[in-house]
Chains A and B, each alone.
Chain A
């Protein structure tokens, strides 16, 4: 039962990273404006765009690797580090850019930097900590064919996230403004 819990945490986080990366890649231009909030230096737009695409691809790559290579424990630590970075970004966003859209899942989400966002990130970090727990080696044994099938399924998930984000972006309704003083 403990193994099931740990593996659920691990696969859920991998799927979360795949969905987040795939959705962000559908509209990197809007994610650039979030990246810009966290870079105080004056950087040319192409560089900001490259950073935004790099972050999205990084999330996607770590998610794919974590899902298809479960025996590599270093990936669990990497996912935990990324989850901690989410907490730090949420806290900084709450402190300095409260109310701004975080675009954490591209157009799939319209969440903003707020206290609930920090809590969500903390929960993700907690789940990542659970995924760090030891699992019996037998439970993680996968052959090459299985890995390829998992990779294909994960690719399908990324494609679905990309498409869903595109659909939401295309059909987004105009919303009234709320000025937060």
Chain B
């Protein structure tokens, strides 16, 4: 019985494709078995000193600096316009700001995307909150912003009081309270209640190490 030429070619192509995918899965399994994923926590450690950062403010395209510990508590939101959960966080922050619950805090939205990307999101386009683009790659590393959304509460002494993914108004309120805590007093933020972070576009801009 003669096998049609197409069938012979197709089965070898399918075999080749399946082999490639098998290699991908095997490599990934090997990585997962030998890597300690707990070594990469999300956000800076609570109780640590927050790092200084510089960013390009979208409102006037000027470079601004944030120096934690300058006497003003800060609430930092690491967000991306293309991340749906981040839109919810921006809306929640806007609501809290509108009702005066964030008074006394420096509220700052930080993104790795250029200003033009804000137009893809209604929430980002409409927000009155200060928003800027991170200028130094080291900033996202220092803040452990490996995924978005990430909310970081910093007290007036520049100490991180809470850091976790957050999207809801109740969580924003808890973070704002954490910012205003007196020194040496703890606050528990319901991290488990927070929404799972959306895949980060920060990492999309990174080199494709080990990809494909």
Contacts and interface: CB of A to CB of B under 8 A. Distances in A.
A and B assemble together: yes
B147 interface: yes
Contact of A177 (B21, B40, B120, B203): B203
Interface string B186-212: 000000000000110111111111011
Interface in A1-54: 3-4, 7-8, 11-12, 14-15, 18-19, 27, 29-30, 33, 36-37, 42, 45
A110 B82 CA distance: 17
A139 B6 contact: yes
Interface stretch (B23-31, B60-68, B95-103, B176-184): B23-31
A109 B211 contact: yes
Contacts of A105: 212
Interface stretch (A76-84, A86-94, A121-129, A163-171): A163-171
Contacts of A179: 112, 133-137, 205
B211 A174 contact: no
A85 interface: no
Interface in A104-121: 105, 108-112
B4 A139 contact: yes
A42 to B, nearest CB: 7
B84 interface: yes
Contacts of A178: 137, 205-207
A105 B212 CA distance: 9
A142 to B, nearest CB: 6
Contacts, number: 153
A112 B204 contact: yes
A73 interface: no
A171 B31 contact: yes
Query: Interface extent on B, as a size class?
Result: 35 or more
B198 A29 contact: yes
Contact of B204 (A101, A138, A153, A160): A101
B85 to A, nearest CB: 10
Nearest to A13: B13
B212 A109 contact: yes
Contacts of A42: 122
Contacts of A61: none
Given A12-B13, A19-B17, A140-B6, A173 B35 contact: yes
Given A8-B9, A100-B205, A157-B14, 9 more contacts: A7-B6, A29-B84, A33-B201, A36-B82, A108-B212, A161-B21, A176-B137, A177-B112, A177-B140
Interface of B: 4-7, 9-11, 13-14, 16-18, 21-22, 24-25, 28-29, 31-32, 35, 37, 40, 82-84, 112, 120, 122, 133-137, 140-141, 145-147, 198-199, 201-209, 211-212
**6 interchain residue pairs of minimum CB distance:** A174-B146, A101-B204, A175-B206, A110-B211, A139-B5, A11-B13
